[in-house]
Amino acid sequence: MKITVIGTGYVGLVQGVILSEFGHKVICLDIDQKKIDSLNNGILPIYEPGLKDILDRNVLEGRLKFTTDKEYALQNAEVIFIAVGTPPAEDGSADLTYVLQCAKDIGQNIKDYTVVVNKSTVPVGTGDFVENAIKEELKNRDANIEFDVVSNPEFLREGKAVNDCLRPDRVVIGTESEKALDTMKKIYDVLYINKTPFVFTNRRTSEMIKYASNAFLAVKISFINEMALLAEKVGANTQEIAQAMGMDGRISPKFLHCGPGYGGSCFPKDTKAIVEIGKEYGEDMSVVAAAISANEKQKKKMIEKIIKEMNGVEGKTICILGISFKPDTDDVRDAPSLDIIRGLVENGATIKAYCPKGTEEAEWRLENYKNHITYCKDEEEASTNADAVVLVTEWNQFRGINLEELKDRMKGDFYFDLRNVHSKNSKVRSLFKYFPVGQK
């Protein structure tokens, strides 16, 4: 099929590449000329393991193209995916400016029946909103062209996005149109044959499934983080609590790892957005709202703990390991590390930070704090002469860190392990003043 994907970010680019791998002819459209130039030069604008090889192969075989030319990308597509950002507006609701622009562009350009697929995470009712915006443009053109708008939310995880798109847990398709449904089945033929579970539903249910899923995961993390705060006080071990809880099939062990709070481009904004949707419809989303405030509290607790245990951080040098919101991505959006770094700097600390991939983005996100932060080339440089190490993101390379050498390089001996990476290693406790999360 001839498919255009609008937006070449973490979702659109991976989606475009994988759809071409499924054998479709794909054009990836973006307004960011730099991104498109870089893609046309074979350079990925994001870090996503495993993506480059599949992208190169499909470009070489003529199934995948990148452009900023809207007419070229939209006029002949049978299917158009919208995969642009839906960032939070001032009040926390989803800002649909980019989605609306896509709808207008589609309305101004389509020539024949087109299936428009919303992959961006959007509030319930956005399908109607997109449909009306396209109709409006068609009316302006005096064009009578048939189209359908389908909801097909994305559940990929950054860092594991290629596998998640090749082997998704499920594919959700929301449409009331039989014709559009047939097209969607053709697009995902490969997954259908491979027995991937499909959920066919109406558009509004599909839109809500995405928010409900992310809100549930955010609640689950906040729940175990709250248990961790209590466990530290009563002398219990949250890792063991989570392990035992997870043995119950109704609970499952996934997403029960306590830490510095959730971050990233999805959970913080999607939880806020669903609370706002609730307000709009007069429904108090109190459980999700509690998760949001628990998450804010969790990040503050991390800062307070470091300050308390070190007897203040004024004039101290703190090594931060890991800035990206999780391992295997360069995405720093709403990462807990940002709040922790800001909090420590505001209390007088100097930061030496190292992240395998997130440094570039962190530099501009922490622009106002730049005089207090040195970005280092590796963990060795970051920890040299530091009073404390704070491991914020559990990149695999930090798991094998040589603890004796680390201690020798440091001035002090504080180790705050916010991901419990070394909590089962007895050496860490003899070498350092060691503080894991949710246990002694």
- Which positions are catalytic? 266
- Tell me if 10 contacts ligand NAD by CB under 6 A: yes
138 binds ligand NAD (CB under 6 A): no
**Residue 70 or residue 135: which is nearer to ligand NAD going by CB?**
70
Residue number, 20 or 120, with CB nearest to ligand NAD: 120
Nearer to ligand NAD, 30 or 226 (CB): 30
Q: How many alpha carbons lie under 13 Å from residue 49 in its C-beta half-sphere?
A: 11
Give the x-and-dash track for 71-90 against ligand NAD (CB under 6 A). ------------xxxx----
Strand order, beta sheet including 317-321: 373-375, 350-354, 317-321, 388-391, 414-417, 433-435
Q: Does 259 bind ligand NAD (CB under 6 A)?
A: no
> How many Å from the N-terminal Cα to the C-terminal Cα in the chain?
57
The Cβ of residue 37 has, within 10 Å, a number of other Cβ atoms equal to 13
- Residues 99 and 11: beta-carbon distance below 8 Å: no
Write down the H helix ranges in 282-435.
Answer: 286-309, 336-346, 359-365, 379-383, 396-399, 403-409, 426-431
Stretch that binds ligand NAD, among 31-39, 222-230, 388-396, 430-438 (CB under 6 A): 31-39
Asked whether position 168 contacts ligand NAD by CB under 6 A, the answer is no
Q: Is there binding between residue 11 and ligand NAD (CB under 6 A)?
A: yes
- What sign does the CA torsion over 342, 344, 349, 350 have? negative
Q: Report if residue 134 touches ligand NAD, rule: CB under 6 A.
A: no
Q: How many CB atoms lie within 10 A of CB 18?
A: 24
Q: Least CB distance from residue 72 to ligand NAD, whole Å?
A: 13
Stretch that binds ligand NAD, among 28-36, 237-245, 249-257, 411-419 (CB under 6 A): 28-36
Which lies closer to ligand NAD via its Cβ, residue 54 or residue 228? 54
Q: Which long-range contacts (CB under 8 A, 24 or more apart) does 89-96 make?
A: 91/276, 92/269, 92/272, 92/273, 92/275, 92/276, 93/123, 93/272, 93/273, 93/276, 93/277, 93/280, 94/121, 94/122, 94/123, 94/269, 94/273, 94/276, 96/122, 96/123, 96/126, 96/129
The stretch near ligand NAD (CB under 6 A) out of 8-16, 36-44, 220-228, 417-425 is 8-16
Please state the closest distance from residue 215 (CB atom) to ligand NAD, in A: 13
Neighbours of 31 (CB within 10 A): 16
In 235-285, which ranges are continuous DSSP H helix? Answer: 238-246, 267-280
262 binding ligand NAD? (CB under 6 A): no
If the CB atoms of residues 8 and 238 are measured against ligand NAD, the closer one turns out to be 8
| Tokens, residue 65 | 């193209």
* Stretch of 94-102, 290-298, 300-308, 379-387 lying at the interface with ligand NAD (CB under 6 A): 94-102
Residue type, 145: I
Pairing of β 317-321 and β 171-174: unpaired
Nearer to ligand NAD, 41 or 311 (CB): 41
44 is an interface residue for ligand NAD by CB under 6 A: no
CB of 84 to ligand NAD, least distance (A): 4
Q: How far is the CB of 107 from ligand NAD (least distance, A)?
A: 13
**Min dist. Cβ of residue 321 to ligand NAD (A):** 22
The helix or strand, by DSSP H or E, that contains position 15, with its residue range, turns out to be helix 12-21
Q: Is 156 in the site for ligand NAD (CB under 6 A)?
A: yes
Asked if 339 is part of the footprint of ligand NAD (rule: CB under 6 A), the reply reads no
Q: What letter does residue 194 receive in the DSSP assignment?
A: T
Among 3, 4, 5, 6, binds ligand NAD (CB under 6 A): 6
Q: Which of 19, 22, 28, 35 forms a contact with ligand NAD (CB under 6 A)?
A: 35
Closest among 322, 287, 292, 347 to 419, alpha carbons compared: 322
Q: Which residue ranges make up the site for ligand NAD (CB under 6 A)?
A: 6-12, 29-32, 35, 83-86, 98, 101-102, 120-121, 154, 156, 158, 265-266
